[in-house]
Each structure stands twice: as C-alpha cells, then as structure tokens.
Structure 1
Amino acid sequence: MVVLAKGELEQIALPAAQPPQADVRSVDLSAPDAACALVAACEEHGFFMVTGHGVPMELVRAAEAAAAEFFALPQGEKEEARPLGYGSKWIGGNGDLGWIEYLLLGVTPAGAVPVASASSSTLPCAAASVSSSTPACPLRDVLDEYTVAARRMACAVLELMAEGLGVGPPDALARLVTRSDSDCMLRVNHYPPRPAPELGTSRGPNLTGFGEHTDPQIISVLRSNGTSGLEIALRDGAWASVPPDRDAFFINVGDTLQVLTNGRFRSVRHRVVVNSERSRVSMIFFGGPPPGERLAPLPQLLGDGGRSRYREFTWGEFKSSGCRTRLAEDRLSRFEN
C-alpha cells in the first residue's frame, strides 16, 4: 500500500501519453555468437533481453509469488518486517517520490540482509547493509536462492562481454561482482494498481512509479511479473515502452560499466510508469564492485590516443556522490575528464 499526503499525488502524476514500443534486442546466452551480440546490444541501448540463461523458472515463479504474498499483507505487518528492509513512497532522501513499495536487501556471502535506513537511500547503491544476524525469514530464504542464481547469470553475461570486447583475463569484469566484499544488492519493487478514476472520468491517472535514472552499478539483472510499465530512453531522448516478457530477463548497463568501457557501452536511462489496473512486481539484482575498488577505463579500451573519458575514482566515492543527488541527475558528469 502506498499512502500519499495531500499534494503528493499531483507530484507524481504523468500525462496519459502512450510511448511507442521499444525494439529490444534478445540475446541467447547459449548461442555461439552471444559475446558479439551482447556487445552490439550494449553499444546500442545499453539494455537488452536474455534467454538461454539457465535460471530455473520454478525458482523465479516462487520468488515472485512469495514477494506478491508479502506485499498483500496488512500495512502494519509489512512495516514491522525489518529482516526485509521494507520501505514505500520515498525513493531516497532528496525528495523523489513514487507509487511504489519495496524491499531492499544487501548481498553478502552469508546471503541477503536488510539495508539500514532503506527509506533514506537515494538508489540501491546508497546505503550500508546491517548485520546478517537477523531472524530467519521464509521470504528472505527464497530471495537468497534467487539472488545466487541472478548473480551467477550476471557474471556469465560479464564474461561474455569481456570476450566480445577482447578484454582479458576472462573475468576482467565479472571478478568485480564475485568478490566476497562486492557491493551487490537485491531490490524487490511492488507497484500497486493505479488509483481508481475520479468521478466523471473513464480512467485513473498515470503515475510515476520509479522516476527516470540510470543504475550506478556495473550491471543490473531485472525480472518482472509480466505487467507493463518499464520505459527506456532512446538515443534521441524519446521514451519507449518495454514489452513485458514472463520468461526472459532484462539486463541494464550501469554507470560503472560505462566508465570501465570508456563510454563504449551506454548506461541506459529508464523509469517505471504506473498505468495499469494490475500490480507490477519486479526483482532487480544490482552487481556492484567492492567499496574500495579503484575504477577507471580498462587500458585495452582507451583506443589509439590513450585518452580516458573518466578520471579514476573508488566505488565508495561514487556512491557518496550519488547520495547527494536527485534521481534524474547525471552522476557521471562529475567524474569526466
């Protein structure tokens, strides 16, 4: 349930325009040409769909069903669910609002743990995890299992990207997500159906579910329950709607991967618009590097001139900078040469 104070509904109301459907590339990870296809997709939109991923669909369905069951609980029970990092409405502490409630979990070698002060985090990168000595929770158990599978897939995608770029060693990118101190997170978002139409109107308003932004990490692995709402920004800035798919996963290039590839890969701007009478549940695994990892374009991708578009920085520095921004701000511009 999302409870908005007077005036807040107007802040997230959107025009009723329906953008055209995006032409989203589909990449079969088991195909011989997967590495080249991934590179082409990252250079085009920085967003694509993957099949042949090897993640058991029964696990995906179980995680989605368990999440939907949780979000259907009475509001008081959800707000008391500290082991799950529950929050609603506020997306960060800088004024961004959305028609959304969510779970925010850090990923550690011991499993998923709730994120401290989730309601004040700007993006999934912007909060620290609390101790993993939290009580056992059936939903968290299935999310733990799902997270293991999503991280495995993210690493497989990153290894194929490195192959397609001609970057060595094979784990040049994936190692940043597999280390025990890697800053990975799982976010489970629930977008309730849009409000009922006002008297005298035929349909309810379109609302901002999650405002436009780029993901700050290296890679994002997204699943949704087949309800529309996700939109991506094309090269010309126009928005396009992503057709839902019940069996595929979607991959976002993050800001950090744009830096590592010296701008060759594009960090895609995206948002979620609530315009449906159906609930949308999405699960996003964010693969981030260790906090102290120094990040800069890979030497093999600097080109003949050897010019780096970005100055070196740590993931911790980038996170700290992002905490002070609104969702739609360009965080990378502060780190350009």
Structure 2
Amino acid sequence: MAPVPTFPVKVGQIDDVQELRKVEPSTIPERFVRDLTERPSSLATALSPPGGIPIINLSKLMKGNHDEFHNEILNLATACEEWGFFQVIDHGIELNLLENIEKVAKDFFMLPLEEKKKYPMLPGTVQGYGQAFVFSENQKLDWCNMFALGVEPHFIRNPKLWPAKPAEFSETLETYSRDVRKLCQCLLKYVAISLGLKAETFEEMFGVAVQAVRMNYYPPCPRPDLVLGLSPHSDGSALTVLQQGKGSSVGLQILKNNTWVPVQPIPNALVINVGDTIEVLTNGRYKSVEHRAVTHKEKDRLSIVTFYAPSYEVELGPMPELVNENNPCKYRRYNHGEYSKHYVTNKLQGKKTMEFAKIQTQNST
C-alpha cells in the first residue's frame, strides 16, 4: 500500500499561533481564516442550557445505596444516548494531580519555540509538537498548538518525544495517566451495566487498551469569529477524558440538534465523551457526538485530553445483544488497528471517519 501523502505543518513563526501572537498580535493569516460555512457562527450557537450537559457522580455509582446507584445508572444511560457527553464529579483523581498536570502542560507550551521544536510531529504521525490531521498545503489550520504522546501500551511510545523540560513533566504525566486509565476502566464497567451487559464486557473485549494524551493550547485570538480552535470531529476512541484548564475560556462546544452548545466547565470535574468505538459496539444506541473548540479574544485556553481505546489487534462490530429487528446492524466488523490508521490519516471532518465502519447499502454505493 502506498504511503498516505502528508503535508505536515512546519513548526515555525508563520504557523505557530503562539509565535504569531508575538510577531503580529492583531493579524490572522489567511491559512487560519475559515470559509463562511465553517466559521463559529455558521450554525446557531445556543446559550448553555440550564444545568448544561449531564453530570454523573461517580461516588454514587461506586458507593451509593441501591436507589442512588439505580438513578445514576439511568442518568449515565441518558447522557450516553442523548448527549454523548457528560461531566463526572467525585471521580477520585486527586486535586493536586489535576493542578500538577495543568502546570507542566502550560510550562511546556511556554517554553521557547526552539525547545519545543526538539519534539516535532513527523509526517504521517500524531505524536509530538505541532498540528495533527494536516494533509494538504491549502488546508485550513486550527488556532491551536498541540503536543501529543502515546502512553500505553509501552510499544506505542516514542521516548524521544517525551520532553526533558519541564523536569517533572514525565513523572507527572505517568502518574496522571495511570489514574485516568483506572477512571476509564471504572466508567466502562458502568457503561456496560447501563446497557444491561455484565460489568467486565469491555475490559474483556479490549485486551491491553491503547491510551494516548494530547495537550492543546489555544492563545487568545484577535478575530475569534474567523477561526476555529479545533475543527469539528468525533473521537475514534472508546472514551475520551477532557480536563479543561482552570481559568481558561469556555471553548468546547458540542453539536446537539444542529446547534452548537457550549460546555461550561465545573471546577475539578472531568468531561467524558463517547467515542466512535462505543457507537459501533452499541450499534448506534450510544453515539459519538461531533464537537469543536472555539477561541476567545482575550483569554487563552488549555486542555488535556486522554483517549482510551481497544488494543489494535481487536476485531470490533456491533454486539449481538444490541442488534434486533428494531435496531438492525448498522456497522460491519473490522480490525480496530485498521480503523485507527484510517482515523489518523484523514483530516477532521465531523463524523466522516465513521463511514469506514458503516454498512454500505446498495443505494449508497
């Protein structure tokens, strides 16, 4: 198979948004200016609904009485079916660890460009510093700097990309990733229960799960109406865990009923979303939802995103228990590694990557 042609963004002053802000603080280069249909105002943007996206209290699932557990499982099912997103509180990850990972992430992005360039995101990869999902020279760029690393299993790591500065970066990320991994395993047990499946269903199916982290830094933007911080997409993972930096601007928006709904951060909560993998396994009952990031004129934003997915060797498809006459099979069986490769070698375009998994009818071929 011929390699996928790539045109990676060269990390330099022209296309690194932090450097742009230093050199020409009021200018938006054409490469970042979106077409009219893609701009943040292209679809209606709702005010945050009362209460916002659903909130799940993990301690009620782990330690609550019968009624609390039952109610929270129903809340989880509703969140996954109707929103594809929820915020989890009482998640068990220490507050000081959340603060520490934010600090080392921010400290990394504040390093001189020459230091960050030691960890470049190479062509056709999604690890390192730069912009991922860029495949053509005329493709619009996101108003964002990214730093991404493979974490588990160890063979997906590229040790040369783990930074020497700040000095505590690697140790903090190891501890944080271990705790987030436990959280994902725990949440997937309750997702399984909410579907009427045995708690260990996903853990047994996934094998040694793949885990990666991506840190996103969005500097203030002089014209937030013209750019996107991150293009609309759904995640290829099973679950995604998002930590939004304290004091950051409200940047995450999810597409619900053809309207972009902003997600108001709850202090010390984590935002969880269902990925494409869970949509396929549940035959569309739980949905991966399109989301994007917008920018702010005066405030910056930091986010730390963990992706949790099955082993690359696993074959996936709708679970038989969730296929019936009322919900016929929507997706084919496929190798998860092949889907992952498909996902990272295509630009972010809403839910277009899901076409890889959909059963094609004669009318659509």
Q: Normalising by structure 2, what TM-score? A: 0.77
Other-structure match for 1:191: 218
Kindly indicate whether the alpha-carbon contact (under 8 Å) linking 1:96 and 1:326 is maintained by their aligned counterparts in 2: no
What is aligned with 1:222? 242
Relative to structure 1, the CA distance from residue 188 to residue 175 in structure 2 (aligned partners, 3 Å threshold; closer, same or farther) is farther
**What is the alpha-carbon distance in structure 2 between the residues aligned to residue 108 and residue 160 of structure 1?**
22
Residue 267 of structure 1 pairs with residue 296 of structure 2? no
Point out the structure with the larger strand share.
1
**Corresponding residue SS for 2:229:** strand
Deviation of residue 90 (structure 1)?
5.0
Q: Which has the higher helix share?
A: 2
Structure-2 change in CA distance of 1:96 and 1:145 (3 Å): farther
User: Counterpart of 1:58 in 2: which secondary structure?
Assistant: helix
Q: Does 1:41 align with 2:79?
A: yes
Q: Label 1:92 to 1:258 Cα distance change in 2 as closer, same or farther (>3 A).
A: same
Hey, what's the Cα distance between the residues in 2 that align with 1:171 and 1:237?
35
Q: What are the Cα deviations for residues 50-98 of structure 1, in whole angstroms up to 9, with x where unaligned?
A: 1121010110001101111111111111112469954234543353511
> Which of the residues 228, 233, 238 maps onto 1:213?
233
For 2:98, the equivalent position in structure 1 comes to: 60
In structure 2, stretches of 5+ residues that fail to align are 1-15, 21-27, 61-68, 360-365
Could you tell me whether the CA contact under 8 Å between 1:78 and 1:86 is conserved in 2? no
Q: 1:218 to 1:90 in 2, by over 3 A?
A: closer
Q: 1:299 aligns with which of 316, 320, 337?
A: 320
Say if 1:15 and 1:264 are closer, same or farther in 2 by CA, change over 3 A: closer
Residue in structure 2 matched with residue 14 of structure 1 by the alignment:
39
Q: Give the AA of the match of 1:88.
A: G
Deviation at 1:292, TM superposition (A): 1.5
Whole-Å Cα distance in 1 between the matches of residues 157 and 205 of structure 2?
A: 18
Moved more, 38-47 or 80-89: 80-89
CA contact (8 A) 1:193 1:274 kept: yes
Structure 2 counterpart of 1:72: 110
Instruction: State the Cα distance separating 1:131 from its structure 2 match.
Output: 5.2
Corresponding residue number in structure 1 for 2:356: 334
Counterpart secondary structure, 1:98:
coil
C-alpha distance in 2 between matches for 1:301 and 1:129: 35
Query: Following the alignment from structure 1 to structure 2, what is the Cα–Cα distance between the partners of residues 85 and 274?
Result: 23
Counting only pairs closer than 5 Å after superposition, residues 91-130 of structure 1 correspond to structure 2 as: 91-94=133-136, 95-110=139-154, 129-130=157-158
Structure 2 distance, partners of 1:324, 1:109, is 21
In the aligned structure 2, how far is the partner of 1:87 from the partner of 1:176?
32
User: How far does residue 109 in structure 1 lie from its aligned partner after superposition?
Assistant: 4.5
The corresponding residue for 1:172 is 201
Question: 2 CA distance for matches of 1:142 and 1:206?
Answer: 36
CA deviations 1:269-309 (Å, max 9, x no partner) are 00000024222111111001111210011121113568321
Residue segments in structure 1 that go unaligned for 5+ positions in a row: 114-127, 198-203
Alpha-carbon separation, structure 2, partners of 1:91 and 1:301: 33
Alpha-carbon distance change, 90 to 166 in structure 1, aligned in 2, over 3 angstroms: closer
- How much does 1:221 deviate? 0.6
> CA offset at residue 190 of structure 1?
0.7
Residue pair 2:32, 2:141 contacting (<8 A) in 1 also: no
Identity of counterpart residues, as a percentage?
A: 29
Count matched residues: 310
TM-aligned CA deviation for residue 320 of structure 1: 2.7
Change over 3 Å in CA distance of 1:158–1:241 after alignment to 2: same
Equivalent-residue separation in structure 1 for 2:202 and 2:289 (angstroms) = 18
- Which stretch shifts more, 279-288 or 301-310? 301-310
Alignment CA distance shift 1:71-1:205 (3 Å): same
Aligned to 1:88: 130
SS at match of 2:197: coil
The answer to whether the 8 Å contact 1:90/1:96 transfers is no
- Contact between 1:233 and 1:269, CA under 8 Å: does it hold in 2? yes
Give the letter for the 2:169 counterpart. L
Encode CA deviations 1:177-207: one digit per residue, 9 max, x unaligned.
5x43x22211111111113x7xxxxxx6552
Q: Distance in 2 between matches of 1:90 and 1:216?
A: 14
**Distance (whole Å) between structure 2 residues aligned to residue 334 and residue 8 of structure 1:** 29
Give the alignment's TM-score, normalised by structure 1: 0.83
Letter in 2 for 1:26: I
